[in-house]
Amino acid sequence: MKIYEYMAKRNWPHSYSGKILLVSFIGVHVPMFGAVAYALLADATPFTEQLDVLAAMLVATLVGTGGTMFVMNALLAPVVAATQAADGYLREGRTPRLPTTYTDSAGVLMSSVQECITRLDSSLTTSELARKQIAHEHSSKFQILAGMKHDFRTPLTRILGFAELMKSEAIGPVGDDSYRRFAATIGDSGRELLQTLQSVLDLSDAQARSQLAEDSEVFDLADMAQEAISLEHLHAQKRGVSIELIAPPVLEVCTIPSAAKNILSALLQAAIDRNVRGAQVRMELDGERGLACISVLAVGGQLTLEDVPSELQHFCDNLPSGTGSRSSRPETSTPMTLRMSLLETLTRAIGAEFTLGQDARGWEMQVLIRPQPLIVPLAAE
C-alpha cells in the first residue's frame, strides 16, 4: 500500500490505469537506458558506428512498450468494470452484470462485487417493503372494521328493533311512562351509534378499494425488467442458464412498483431453477395503453405434476409425475409448488392475472397487469 499511497497523494497519474501504465513504461525502458549508457560510456566503438544498433534497440523498445501497455490496459478491464459497477450502483442504483465464473484475483473481485450488490439491493428492497407496511398500518385497521361490519350491524339492528317494539307497545303495555322514555332513549342512541358505525364502515370500504390505486405509480416496466435480470444474473450464471429479454424500449404501466419488481424476480427465479443447464430463459414484455403482459419461457424446461399447486393445475393438462405415480393428482409437492402459489398470490394482490402453460418449447408463465386509476395528491394551498 505504501507505493500506491505515495502515488495517490500526488494524484498523478490521475487514474489507477494510468499509474499501472506509467510503471510499465518505466520498467520497459530501464533496459534501453542501461544499454544506451553502456554504449556511450563504456564501449570504445565510435558512436556513429553504433547508431544502427541503438536504432534497432529503440524500435524494439517502442514496440515492446506499446504491446505491454496494451495488454496491461486489457488486464485492468476487470478492475475498471468492478469500479464502474460499484460507482454506478451507488450513484444511480444500476445493478451490474459482471462475469462470475473466473477464479483468479480479478475474477473473484468481479464476482464479489456482483454478489455484494445483489445482496445489498435485496436487503434494501426488503427494508423498503417493511417501511411501507408500517406506513400503511392505519389502512389495515379500516380493513379489520370492514370485515366486522355484520358483527356490529346485527346486534345493533336487534336492539333498535326491540326498542321500537317497547316504545310502540306492540306486544303489550309497558305500564309506566319512564319505561317508554327509556325505550325512546335506547332507540335514539342506537340509531346514532349505527349511523356513526355506518360512516366508519363506508370509509373502510372506500379505503380498501382505493389502497391499490393509492400505492400505484406510473413507471417503466422494461427498465425494471432489465434491473430484475441484472439481479438474477449471478443466480443464472451459477445454474448455467442464459437470459434473453425481448421488450420495447419503454413500456409504462401503472401499478405498485415494489410488487411488480417482486413478480419479475420471482418469475425469473422460477424459470431459472426449473430449467436444464445450458438452456435459455426468455422474458418478453408487450402491451399498450397501460395494459402489460409479462411472458417468461423456460426453453427446454419441463414441469412435473408435483410442481404445480392444485389451484393452478387447470392450466396444464396431463403433466407427467416426477415420482412415477399414475395418479392425476399430486401425492407430494416440491419447492416450485410454493413458488407458484406465491406468484399467483402476488399477481392477485395488484389486480393482475397469472396463467401457466407447457408445450414442446418448454414451460411458460404469463402475468397480465391491468392499468389502475392513478390518484394524484392535491397541491397544498
For residue range 331-346, list pLDDT tens digits in order: 677 778 878 887 888 8
Highest mean pLDDT among 58-62, 153-157, 184-188: 58-62
pLDDT at 310: 80
d(CA 307, CA 234): 24
Please, how many CA atoms are within 13 Å of residue 126, restricted to the half-sphere of its CB?
6
Instruction: Write down the pTM of the prediction.
Output: 0.55
Which cell numbers in the block locate residue 375? 390518484
State the DSSP string of 325-366. Answer: ---SS-SS--HHHHHHHHHHHHHHHTT-EEEEEE-SSEEEEE
Confidence class for position 19, pLDDT limits 50, 70, 90:
confident
Whole-angstrom Cα distance, residue 102 to residue 82?
13
Backbone angles phi, psi at 8, to 5 degrees: -70, -35
Residue 369, CA distances (Å) to 27, 189, 190, 322, 341 in order: 61, 47, 45, 32, 17
- What are the angstrom distances between the C-alpha of 226 and each of 87, 97, 294? 18, 10, 13
Residue ranges per structural domain of the chain: 2-124, 137-213, 217-369
Which three cell numbers, joined as nine digits, stand for 298?
A: 423456460
pLDDT one-digit tens code per residue, 341-371: 878 888 887 888 999 999 888 999 999 988 7
Which range among 27-31, 292-296, 335-339 shows the weakest confidence by mean pLDDT? 27-31
Q: What is the dihedral of CA 45, 48, 52, 54, to 10 degrees?
A: 70
pLDDT band at 374 (very low <50, low <70, confident <90, very high): low
Interacting residues of 379 by C-beta distance below 8 A, sequence separation 6+: none
For residue 378, what pLDDT is reported? 45
**pLDDT on residue 33:** 73
- Reply yes or no on domain 217-369 having CATH 3.30.390.50: no
Q: What percentage of the chain has pLDDT greater than the value 90?
A: 14
Query: pLDDT, tens digit, for every residue of 100-156?
Result: 888 888 888 888 888 888 877 877 777 667 666 655 655 555 555 555 555 555 566
Looking at mean pLDDT, say which of 13-22, 49-58, 281-290, 361-370 comes out highest.
361-370
| Residue 251 grid coordinates | 413500456
Q: Identify the residue whose cell numbers are 499501472.
A: 20
What pLDDT score was predicted for residue 136? 60
- The answer to whether 252 and 291 have CB atoms below 8 angstroms apart is no
**pLDDT for res 379:** 45
The predicted model gives 51-70 an average pLDDT of 76
Residue 156, pLDDT score: 62
